[in-house]
Amino acid sequence: MSTLTQSPAWRALQAHQPIMAQHHLRDLFNQDPHRFDKFSLLFNDILLDYAKHPVNQQTIDLLLALARQQHLENWITRMFSGDKINQTEHRAALHIALRAAHPVFVDGVDVIPEVKQVLQQITRFVNAVRSGEKKGYSGKAFTDIVNIGIGGSDLGPVMVTEALKPYGSPHISVHFVSNIDGSQLSETLRQLNPDTTLFIIASKTFTTQETITNANSARHWFLTHGGSDNDIAMHFVAVSTNQSAVEQFGIHAENMFPFWDWVGGRYSLWSAIGLPIAMAIGMENFSSLLAGAREMDQHFMIAPLEKNLPVMLGLIGIWQINFFGVTSHAILPYDQYLHRFPAYLQQLEMESNGKRITRDGEVFDYNTSPVVWGEPGTNGQHAFYQLLHQGTQSVSADFLAPCQSHHPIGNHHRLLLANFFAQTEALMRGKNESEVRNELISQGIPEASRKALLPHKIFPGNHPTTSILFKKLDPKTLGSLIALYEHKVFVQSVIWNINPFDQWGVELGKQLAGKILSDLNQTETVNSHDSSTNGLMNYFKANQ
């Protein structure tokens, strides 16, 4: 038994769970008409409603006691003050410094002047490209930016660029290439002209196989479609922490935008990794994105735990995962611009907290990150919501939506939100036997058919959802929303005693492919692996 599951706060929650599990969510709402007032929070224009979870005031008090037992406040202070809380990599985790307005120290040195310096470098470059002052080799302004990066060097920038499309420049298109599958690069380059295309090679380590392979192929395309070696400096820039590898690739140090080892890949969109975002939306909007995150940081740092949005979002997740057995969590944005938000959060949550041992190397006897997935509503309603309503798995979900649309055409937005509210209500209430029977009677269905149909039309309900509403998806609100989730993940990591800032599983993947590649390059039949892997590799070799 782990220290956590034997601890008083954990045991108190365990004892409390059967009491709450007896109540259907609809009964909790029937018993207390003030649930929404009690179990929702507002920060700026972001409303967080967690009333549709099986909680009462005692549940909240017990969850807060767990947070205090795990020294959450102390961990928050440690993160903000630059302690090396990523202990397996001996690093601080200071994405908050990238948007901070106050000094932040690493090893006794304030990192903010350096952060500002890079931000100025980005500002000069972005302004020069967007204004057309900086030109390509033929003297034409740049029209297309291709960001080549993967994982943390891709998902955040893609998600934000898509989310903030209404703020994008009509003169510049930003494209993203991440997959080592040559199809993605080919399909992207097919539409572009080398003389008006700028490549950003984004890689913290500058050793990632996918990125370096794509970057080499992009350079080859550039050189074989009109560009020359001398033009490379004008058309290729790098974002990295590894200057020597960047120079070795052929990009001059002055065309490199640095960042630091205390910025984790999946937390890096606020750094120079955000360069494609800034290219798309301009520096003023990029600053608003940072400001939104900064406001959420300050709230996280100073708000009392019970009024703290990231804390409550994290603790509600703990309640579901560890005491109600939820292993699957859906992210359902009712906003087409947020269509990559589920993929972004999938990495943020699963890479940070998808762990099996504590900070001290103990194997857990409790669950950690659920499987995170999702799609925008209403599309998902016509597909996988069937399982949410009547499946056998316990799934929790976050529903997100803006009150105002960027495109207020006709009745679309009200219909969109009507679906959001209807789904969360239906998931909570369900439809019981007598409701279904009355419905079938009112439809005039004969008794024999009624009997056969009845069980199929029952919805158990009692499915937990969190709702997040905000005024409009603008850069500042998006910055706050992302920071909300970053800190939620941190809160959960503290409860579970996980280091959320390393990713040894991802590192493993980087090594494995390299080993197999040398076998694929040989002409002989492969027989050094298990029979399945040998069989697959030999089939591929015969048919490639």
| Three-class secondary structure of residue 525 per DSSP | coil
Catalytically annotated residue among 34, 382, 456, 515: 382
Asked whether the beta carbons of 277 and 14 are under 8 A apart, the reply is no
- Looking at residue 261, its amino acid is D
Classify residue 101 by burial, with Cβ atoms within 10 Å: 0-12, 13-18, 19+: exposed
For residue 275, the minimal CB distance to ligand G6Q (Å) is 13
Nearest residue (beta carbon) to ligand G6Q: 151
Say which residue the tokens 């969510």 belong to: 25
Q: Is residue 266 near ligand G6Q by the rule CB under 6 A? A: yes
Say which residue the tokens 């939820």 belong to: 326
Catalytically annotated residue among 295, 349, 351, 486: 351
Q: Is residue 503 near ligand G6Q by the rule CB under 6 A? A: yes
Pick the piece of the chain touching ligand G6Q (CB under 6 A) from 137-145, 150-158, 365-373, 391-399.
150-158
Q: Is residue 208 near ligand G6Q by the rule CB under 6 A? A: yes
Q: Which is nearer to ligand G6Q, 158 or 332 (by Cβ)?
A: 158
Instruction: Tell me how far CA of residue 395 lies from CA of 2, 326, 329, in angstroms.
Output: 26, 6, 6
Q: Which is nearer to ligand G6Q, 86 or 381 (by Cβ)?
A: 86
For residue 501, the minimal CB distance to ligand G6Q (Å) is 8
Q: Which is nearer to ligand G6Q, 150 or 428 (by Cβ)?
A: 150
Asked whether the beta carbons of 227 and 235 are under 8 A apart, the reply is yes
* 177-206 residues near ligand G6Q, rule: CB under 6 A: 203-205
Q: Is residue 314 near ligand G6Q by the rule CB under 6 A? A: no
Q: Is residue 351 near ligand G6Q by the rule CB under 6 A? A: yes
Annotated active-site residue 486? The verdict is no
For residue 183, the minimal CB distance to ligand G6Q (Å) is 20
Q: Which of 59, 70, 147, 153 binds ligand G6Q (CB under 6 A)?
A: 153
| CA dihedral angle for residue 180, residue 182, residue 183, residue 184, rounded to 10 degrees | 50
Peptide bond into 477 cis (omega under 30): no
For residue 427, the minimal CB distance to ligand G6Q (Å) is 32
For residue 151, the minimal CB distance to ligand G6Q (Å) is 2
Give me 170's structure tokens: 């009509």
Measured in degrees and rounded to the nearest 5, phi and psi for residue 151 equal: 60, -125
Asked whether the beta carbons of 153 and 215 are under 8 A apart, the reply is no
**CA-CA distance, 479 to 225, in Å (whole number)?**
39
Give the number of residues in contact with ligand G6Q, rule: CB under 6 A.
15
Q: Is residue 245 near ligand G6Q by the rule CB under 6 A? A: no
Q: Is residue 156 near ligand G6Q by the rule CB under 6 A? A: no
**CA-CA distance, 43 to 352, in Å (whole number)?**
25
Give me 200's structure tokens: 């950003």
Annotated active-site residue 435? The verdict is no
Q: Which of 211, 320, 492, 497 binds ligand G6Q (CB under 6 A)?
A: 211
Q: Is residue 152 near ligand G6Q by the rule CB under 6 A? A: yes
Q: Which is nearer to ligand G6Q, 481 or 489 (by Cβ)?
A: 489
Nearest to 464 by CA among 352, 349, 345, 317: 317
Annotated active-site residue 433? The verdict is no
- Looking at residue 354, its amino acid is G
**CA-CA distance, 46 to 252, in Å (whole number)?**
43
Instruction: Tell me how far CA of residue 101 lies from CA of 116, 410, 411, in angstroms.
Output: 10, 42, 42
Pick the piece of the chain touching ligand G6Q (CB under 6 A) from 34-42, 147-155, 316-324, 383-391.
147-155
Q: Which is nearer to ligand G6Q, 174 or 332 (by Cβ)?
A: 174
Q: Which is nearer to ligand G6Q, 285 or 353 (by Cβ)?
A: 353
Looking at residue 321, what DSSP letter applies?
I
Q: Rule CB under 6 A: which residues touch ligand G6Q?
A: 150-153, 203-205, 208, 211, 264-266, 351, 503, 506
The residues that are catalytic are 351, 382, 510
